[in-house]
Amino acid sequence: MADESVPCFKITVDMEAIVNGGHPMLPSPTKLEIDHRTLKLLVGLIALSMPSLTSLLTQPKIASISESYHRGGWAQSIFVGFLFAIAAFLLAYNGLSRSEMVLSKVAAVGALGVALFPCDCGGHAQAVPYLHFASAAVMFLILAYFCYVFYGRARGKGHTEANRRAFVYAASGFAILASMLTMAIDTLFPRVLSTIPRLVFYCEGTALVAFGISWLTASHTVPVLTRSDERFSPLGTTSNQ
**pTM as predicted:** 0.82
Q: What is the DSSP string of 24-70?
A: TTSPPPSSSS--HHHHHHHHHHHHHHHHHHHHHT-SSPPSSGGGHHH
Count of beta carbons in the 10 Å neighbourhood of residue 120 = 16
Q: Are 165 and 150 in contact (CB under 8 A)?
A: yes
Q: Are 207 and 48 a contacting pair, CB within 8 Å? A: no
My answer on whether omega of the bond before 51 falls inside 30° of 0, hence cis, is no
Assess contact for 90 and 43: CB atoms under 8 A: yes
- Identify residue 171 by its one-letter amino acid code: A
- 178 exposure class (CB count in 10 Å sphere: 0-12, 13-18, 19+): middle
pLDDT at 140: 97
pLDDT of residue 237: 47
Confidence of residue 6 (pLDDT cuts 50, 70, 90): very low
Asked whether residue 127 carries a pLDDT value surpassing 90, the answer given is no
Phi/psi class of residue 236: alpha, beta or left (left: φ > 0; alpha: ψ in -120 to 50)?
left
Least confident of 55-64, 150-159, 179-188, 191-200: 191-200
Contacts of 53 (CB under 8 A, 6+ apart): 75, 78
pLDDT of residue 36: 83
23 pLDDT band (50/70/90 cuts)?
low
Task: Tell me how far apart the alpha carbons of residues 92 and 76 are, in angstroms, rounded to a whole number.
Answer: 24
In the chain, domain spans = 32-225
The predicted-structure confidence for 133-181, as pLDDT tens digits, reads as follows 999 999 999 999 999 999 999 999 989 999 999 999 999 999 999 999 9
As a whole number of angstroms, the distance between CA 180 and CA 173 comes to 11
**What pLDDT does 33 receive?**
66
Whole-number Å distance between alpha carbons of 116 and 95 = 26
- In this structure, the number of other CB atoms found within 10 A of the CB of residue 15 comes to 9
| Structure confidence at residue 238 (pLDDT) | 45
Reported as a pLDDT band with limits 50, 70 and 90, residue 130 is confident
Average pLDDT on 41-70 reads: 92
